[in-house]
Structure 1
Amino acid sequence: MLPPILQNLRIPVVASPMFIVSTPDLVIAQCKAGIVGSFPALNAREKDGEEIQLEAWLTRITEELDRHNQANPDRPAAPFAVNQIVHRSNARLERDIEICHRHKVPIWITSLGARPEVNAAAHDCGGIALHDIINNKFARKAIEKGADGLIAVAAGAGGHAGPQSPFALVQEIREWFDGPLLLSGAIATGRAVLAAKAMGADLAYIGSPFIATEEASAPSDYKRMICDSGAMDIVTSSLFTGVSGNYLAPSIRNAGLDPDDLEHADASSMNFSEGSSKPKAWSQIWGSGQGIGAVREILPAAERIERLAREYAEAKEELARF
């Protein structure tokens, strides 16, 4: 059974936190439209001497969602989530944990390492902790270290995607775990959301379609490339961060590289000391999942979620007729 905070969403969807792309404008729009919005804590960056942006972002998100709820008691906003990169190179981690704890962030998403102290901080302020994993071994470790739920990042997902089929990954996890399970990997339609639930997941974890939204903090060329591309345009490579990830081939070509002939990099090169593991030289190489063939126009986030909800309802009705 899902914890109360993940119940009563408009549709069973959590928007995944995306580097650069996910900022308060997008998170607030997603939550108001009825799905969990999220952002990486490392997206909130400031120069020395400036106001701590994570503080400002959390204050703004909380206040705007509170105002929405007061004005719309029959249609309250969904909760929001903050993603913590717990990799050892993240020098901001302790500071960001303290800020999120103080602001009582309701949903914590952890990546690149399971850390009991992060889970404990989430629980201490009344939140829940979800950890993203790419295989069953990491899933067991995450639960052993205190995570409340899992995000299964399967083949076809954007960013640091796993290599396993969603069928295999969900099946193995559900043999021993009956808690909250989210599935990521090429989910871009309401029909795919329903398929994720049919496989055994509780919620779909969707990222790439939200790059092509008006509120997304992404370059216009990035948004247009999402709309113009499909599954065949996605390349898997470890070169850019040291860990296997999925990227748009046209952006790789624009950087002067051959997407069919990329070198490999070692995970030891991963470094989040400046907010991202991707070297600045490759800042214009853009991540994406394989589901973007369903994304053909840039829309407001609320309209994209409305479309997902309509497709989800239609798919349920269609299956009920069989």
Structure 2
Amino acid sequence: MSRDDTHLPKALQGLRIPLIASPLFIISVPKLVIAQCKAGIVGSFPALNAREGEGEHPLLDTWLTQIKEELDRHNQANPDRPAAPFAINQIVHRSNARLDRDLEICVKHEVPIWITSLGARIEVNEAAHSCGGVVLHDIINNRFAKKAIDKGADGLVAVAAGAGGHAGQQSPLALIQEIREWFDGPLALSGAIASGESLLAARAMGADFGYTGSAFIATDEANADQGYKDMIVESGAEDIVYSSLFTGVWGNYLRGSVENAGMDPDNLPQADASSMDFGTDREKPKAWKTIWGSGQGVGAVKSVGSAGSIVDRMEREYLAAGKKLAAEFG
């Protein structure tokens, strides 16, 4: 397969397939990120997943050291099949009191790809650029996309309808089309990208990458409850509930987990953005501890396996779908 990605920043070139694994709250840990990168796609985790006890050395520093050392060992042993780079997600929200410290740690480790969420800030982009990092900012509409680029982001993650966790409501067809009218930089699409066919569709629409999260929950390396993994496998698009109740931001969740928490998924109250809290002492109310996020693409996930097996499957599907369409247009 020959794919021209020379227009992209170097950190985003040469992936096995054009796919970025999205950062999953709690679930994305070094074991998963390393497996994703070794499989040839960008692996990522939220900086806030690394939470140490009071007085302990910053766990984020430890995790980044672990990831870099393991990927370096892999690359030395496999010079013809090097790992893809990793990304760190920074929650750029006023309640994240750890942000400045985490930025310093990421600069120290020269993190190659930064994914920013819930606010675009010039100083965060400048921190990333100071160590050669590329910034992708996630957005749910064209207005936010323009603000992010104006404030110095290098690229965008378009979070469309059907994405897991915090998600927009716009059709990916409309969102990508509007962004591509004015922006020709790096662009990833999030929203039910769980198969090679959907990845090809994202590329056909004009995205440079697919952005996949939910499929990686049902993996051996994911830091997720076995019940969560099994529910991903057992669910389809109709089992996804869109609600603002759990974080104050609209997002998609597994219907079964809402029901298991004793709530009616068809009659959930709304919450507003003022209830968002990303402080270090954040705790979900007891009833919400097992509310599990997921996107509408989970129907493509048929079993729990390794992260590498997800990439293998998506690559096979991507190539087969591409060849099928190529025959039509050839």
TM-score band, normalised by the shorter chain?
over 0.9
CA contact (8 A) 1:90 1:275 kept: no
Q: CA deviation at 1:213?
A: 0.3
1:162 and 1:275 mapped to 2: Cα distance? 27
Choose 275-284 or 252-261, whichever is displaced more: 275-284
- Which secondary structure state, in structure 2, belongs to the residue aligned with residue 212 of structure 1? coil
Match 1:61 to one of 60, 63, 67 = 67
2:281 and 2:12 mapped to 1: Cα distance? 28
1:281 and 1:46 mapped to 2: Cα distance? 24
Residues 145-183 of structure 1 show CA distances to partners (whole Å, capped at 9, x for unaligned) of 000000000000000000000000000000000000000
1:237 and 1:278 mapped to 2: Cα distance? 15
Match 1:243 to one of 239, 249, 266 = 249
Q: CA deviation at 1:275?
A: 6.6
CA contact (8 A) 2:28 2:223 kept: yes
Q: CA deviation at 1:304?
A: 1.0
Superposed, 1:71-110 pairs within 5 Å as 71-110=77-116
Q: CA deviation at 1:52?
A: 1.2
Give the unaligned 5+ runs of structure 2: 1-6
Match 1:188 to one of 184, 194, 199 = 194
Q: Residue 129 of structure 1 corresponds to which residue in structure 2?
A: 135
1:13 and 1:304 mapped to 2: Cα distance? 11
Superposed, 1:1-322 pairs within 5 Å as 1-274=7-280, 278-322=284-328
- Which secondary structure state, in structure 1, belongs to the residue aligned with residue 166 of structure 2? coil
The verdict on how the C-alpha distance between 1:199 and 1:121 changes in structure 2, with shifts beyond 3 A counting, is: same
TM-score by length of 2: 0.96
2:67 and 2:39 mapped to 1: Cα distance? 14
Q: Which AA in structure 1 matches 2:156?
A: L
1:106 and 1:119 mapped to 2: Cα distance? 12
1:59 and 1:89 mapped to 2: Cα distance? 26
Q: Which AA in structure 2 matches 1:21?
A: I
Q: CA deviation at 1:28?
A: 0.1
Q: CA deviation at 1:5?
A: 1.1
1:281 and 1:126 mapped to 2: Cα distance? 43
Residues 263-307 of structure 1 show CA distances to partners (whole Å, capped at 9, x for unaligned) of 001110101113758545412000000000011100101111111
Give the unaligned 5+ runs of structure 1: none
CA contact (8 A) 2:98 2:280 kept: no
Q: CA deviation at 1:2?
A: 1.1
1:276 and 1:85 mapped to 2: Cα distance? 13
2:275 and 2:60 mapped to 1: Cα distance? 26
Count of paired positions: 322
- Which secondary structure state, in structure 2, belongs to the residue aligned with residue 14 of structure 1? strand
CA contact (8 A) 1:240 1:279 kept: no
Q: Which AA in structure 2 matches 1:269?
A: S
Tell me the C-alpha RMSD between the 2 structures: 1.0
2:262 and 2:110 mapped to 1: Cα distance? 45
- Equivalent pairs: percent with the same residue? 71
Q: CA deviation at 1:51?
A: 2.2
CA contact (8 A) 1:234 1:289 kept: yes
The verdict on how the C-alpha distance between 1:277 and 1:52 changes in structure 2, with shifts beyond 3 A counting, is: same
Q: CA deviation at 1:202?
A: 0.3
CA contact (8 A) 1:154 1:164 kept: yes
CA contact (8 A) 1:54 1:96 kept: yes
Q: Which AA in structure 2 matches 1:272?
A: F
CA contact (8 A) 2:107 2:128 kept: yes
1:99 and 1:280 mapped to 2: Cα distance? 32
